[in-house]
């Protein structure tokens, strides 16, 4: 079956000196990368078993719940992602 992305939740304000790129709740965001063709920032939350992505221009953020803890996420040359 095809995966369904879920909109993220909004936490409190970021600490002083930090700039938030997404209003999401993460246990710990890791392995970020910029996908130039999609113009999206991707990252994983290992503890919550989620793959996140944000489109900064629109502000739209969503996530994909994963069946197990991901180690990291990287783009593949032929398209798609490797977890």
DSSP letter for each residue of the chain: -----EEPP--SPPPTT---S-----S-EEEEEEETTTTEEEEEETTTTEEEEEETTTTEEEEEE-SS-----EE-TTSSEE-
State yes or no: pLDDT of 11 exceeds 50: yes
Give residue-wise pLDDT tens across range 13-65.
656 777 777 777 788 888 898 998 889 999 999 999 999 999 988 889 999 99
Q: Would you state the structure tokens that stand for residue 30, as one six-digit string?
A: 């890791």
Question: What was the pLDDT predicted at 15?
Answer: 65
Tokens of 16: 């002083």
The answer to whether the pTM exceeds 0.85 is: no
**Token reading at 66:** 């994963």
């Amino acid at each position: 079956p095809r995966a369904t992305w879920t909109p993220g939740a909004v936490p409190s304000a970021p600490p002083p000196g930090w700039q938030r790129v997404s209003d999401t709740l993460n246990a710990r965001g890791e392995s970020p990368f910029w996908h130039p063709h999609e113009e999206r920032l991707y990252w994983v939350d290992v503890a919550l078993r989620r793959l996140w992505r944000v489109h900064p221009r629109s502000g739209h953020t969503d996530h994909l719940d994963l069946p197990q803890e991901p180690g990291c996420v990287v783009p593949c040359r032929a398209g798609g992602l490797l977890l």
